[in-house]
Amino acid sequence: MGRPIQFCTALGEIGDAAALEPLTEALRDENDSVRKYALEALGGLGDAGFDALVRALRDHGLEERKEIPCLLQKRFPDRAFEPLAEVLRGDPAGSVRVWACRSLGWLGDKRALPLLVQALQDPRTRVAAVVALRDLKDPDAIEPLVQMLHTGTPDELEQVSKTLVELGWQPTN
């Protein structure tokens, strides 16, 4: 492990808001690993770290933005819903929206249902939304998933079938 990575790790373990500035600077490092460790360390800085991660969702590159939804969900489950919902509604990168879908499902907040149902319309987020709806375990997801049985690709249909079974759906003939 290189010195900048050790530095980020140590700052995160300290957990003091004074680490915010050097960790925010580390997000601009040319080394991907340093940026990843800086993100992880920010997750340990409480409110200041939360705010910095939310800002990074708007201000940083694709790789960092893909990491942040999972960090918000794991480290700040009580506060993660709104920033994750915002990402799902409007991030230009499909891969970032995929991680927002998955993180919303893991979060288990029922407010995510309409957002995830809407994400079923986007081919880039469709499978992630199906899996997130499975994680959400809300039977209100059954009807939109049943509708997908007529239009999905084979991969999508496999995930839809698994999700419907887990939600207790019984086909009617």
User: Residue 139 carries which DSSP code?
Assistant: G
92/53 same-domain check: no
89/171 same-domain check: yes
- The pLDDT assigned to 173 comes to 66
- The pLDDT assigned to 2 comes to 61
115/167 same-domain check: yes
- The pLDDT assigned to 17 comes to 76
- The pLDDT assigned to 172 comes to 80
115/48 same-domain check: no
Q: Are 6 and 38 in contact (CB under 8 A)?
A: no
Which residues in the chain come in under a pLDDT of 50?
Answer: 1
- The pLDDT assigned to 62 comes to 84
Rounded-to-integer distance, Cα 31 and Cα 18, Å: 23
173/93 same-domain check: yes
Which domain, by its residues, includes 147? 66-173
Domain boundary among 40, 60, 80: 60
Q: What CATH number does residue 154 fall under?
A: 1.25.10.10
DSSP characters for 73-99? HHH-TTT-HHHHHHHHHH-S-HHHHHH
Supply the pTM of this predicted model: 0.90
Residue closest to 80 by CA, chosen among 116, 54, 42, 52: 54
Rounded-to-integer distance, Cα 98 and Cα 64, Å: 14
- What is the number of domains present in the chain? 2
- The pLDDT assigned to 61 comes to 85
22/70 same-domain check: no
HSE of 158, CA atoms in CB hemisphere, 13 A: 2
- The pLDDT assigned to 82 comes to 97
